[in-house]
Amino acid sequence: MLESCVGPGAASVFIEYANNTNIPTPFDVLSGKWKIEPDRIDIVMAAYTSATGYVVQNKDRAEQLALGPQLWEALERLRKTGLSDICVPAVKSLLSAKLGSNASKEMKEAASKVLVPLYREGLVAQDVEVPK
């Protein structure tokens, strides 16, 4: 089916890539079971985009609120590896989904560990509500 959409050459390259990349599930990213490989930014980006999408697009607000702190903690792990810039799209998505420091006490504690350093590094705008 993929081949009919993009052609045999692109399909075979994608299938080989998909078979060899070992992209973790959103659950592995959120739980910390997956070890970040800073030299594989392609996989890191895919993993964090997937985890962020899972949390932000979840239709159940209670589940979003439960998963939000886990994603902030995952972003803190990512930031500590020296990949702060990769955190920014996820941070923007979390804040747009109202999963920032004003969502709950637990969310505020988890978010502040990411937002404050990103603010100091100049990676988040001054209009972002940064916890004190």
CB 23 within 8 A of CB 46: yes
Which pTM value belongs to this model? 0.81
Altogether, the residues listed in the chain come to a count of 132
Burial letters for 93-125: b for 16+ Cβ neighbours within 10 Å, e otherwise?
A: bbbebebbbebeeebbebbbebbebbbeeebbe
Residues 64, 48: Cα–Cα separation, whole Å: 16
Q: In this predicted structure, what is the pLDDT of residue 13?
A: 86
How is the chain split into domains, by residue range? 26-120
Whole-number mean pLDDT of the chain? 89
C-beta atoms surrounding 18 within 10 Å: 11
